[in-house]
A and B are shown apart, each in its own frame.
Chain A
Amino acid sequence: MTEERLRSLLVRGLVGDESAYRTFLGELAAHLRSWLRGRLARLPEEAEDLLQELLLTVHNQRHTYEPKQPLKPWVHAIARYKLIDLLRRRSRNEMLNDPLDNDDELFAAADGEAAEARYDLAKLLDQLPDRQRLPIFYVKIEGASVADAAKRTGMSESAVKVGIHRGLKALAAKIRNIE
């Protein structure tokens, strides 16, 4: 059974078995991806970002898992908490997030507008720390792949994804402050 298998992998990971832990995260990612696909069908990019955030959270909060406890409710409670958090955030600043996430729309506008938007974005981006600014610049503005950006910044791929995610969140907050 998946529950039993994943649980024993995690429990071994908690006492320091690195390869068991790696397998656990990999299989958990597959489960979470299909769980998210059902819930964020219309937001595939958000779903991928949230998946990365969930894996990071599971990792950071693994000390809150008790080995006797069933695994599924634990993972489920974390996933639901983060999903609700995301949806709440989105509904609060839906209009501000969309143009940022959707590069096509933003840069398909008239040339002058696009140049202005780029200029404003550059000013905002400059305020972010490098670990967020560079991934956003390479991936979201230049259109490089995550792997490519990881190579160019010397960061790991997951760090690049987390940087993009956090950076976009910070940008949205900055834009909200301007208006």
Chain B
Amino acid sequence: MLSAGAEPVNARRVAWRYLLAVSGGSLAALALTAGALKLNPALPQELSAPMFWAREAFCASLAMAGLVGTARLARPGRPLGSVPVGIALPVIAMWALAALSLHAAPPVARANLIFGHTARVCPFLIAMIALPVFVALVWVLRGLAPTRPRLTGAVAGLAAGSLGALAYSLHCPELAAPFIGIWYLLGITICATLGAWAGTRLLRW
């Protein structure tokens, strides 16, 4: 009978797998950024720019909300709680910053704040760099039991996309809030959408 196989369950194993996936996936994303795209040469000077840290905080807080959401959805019967708020807040904050900077800029400079020089590639590069993180998260999720595979895939995609964006930001020369509020968010949204699609296929149990 089933109870004959009732060896004790190691509660730490799942936490270890998350740690391994997030650190391994992030390292792979950093390696991709540094190897395939090269780090931004202006990075040392940018460290003193407030917008640099606003951008990092935007990506990091979205990643945190996404990871917490993923962990909740991976276990049956756990409510999402305040995760949707945690996802909405960084977006609203970045959009508020974007509105302020657009309002303060002279009309001729606005297009540049929105499109920068790299708007065309930014979302797709973010999605590409996020891929190893997403693969790592799917590996953890397949050992768990998400009862809402589509939503779980979407939230895991959001977490992966945000970590990918965090790595990508070390290459990206753009610091304007409108640019980040649009193109970074679009890259992360692509990851969430692909995650939802993959979730219904890869997360069944």
Contact = CB atoms under 8 A, between A and B. Distances in A.
Contacts of A14: 8-9, 11
A21 B3 CA distance: 6
A59 B76 contact: no
B77 A69 contact: yes
Interface of A: 13-18, 21-22, 25, 55-57, 59, 61-67, 69-70, 72-78, 80-81, 156, 158
Contact of B147 (A62, A65, A77): A77
Contacts of B78: 66, 69, 73
Interface residues of B, number: 22
B75 A69 contact: yes
A15 B77 contact: no
Interface string B10-43: 1101100000000000000000000000000000
Interface of B: 1-11, 13-14, 74-78, 144-145, 147, 205
Nearest to A72: B77
A63 B78 CA distance: 14
Given A22-B1, A22-B3, A63-B14, A74 B76 contact: yes
Contact of A56 (B2, B74, B144, B145): B2
A39 B7 CA distance: 33
A93 B138 CA distance: 29
Given A74-B77, A76-B77, A78-B76, A158 B147 contact: no
B1 A156 contact: yes
16 contacts: A15-B9, A16-B6, A16-B8, A21-B3, A21-B6, A57-B145, A61-B76, A64-B14, A64-B75, A64-B76, A64-B144, A66-B75, A76-B77, A77-B77, A80-B147, A158-B2
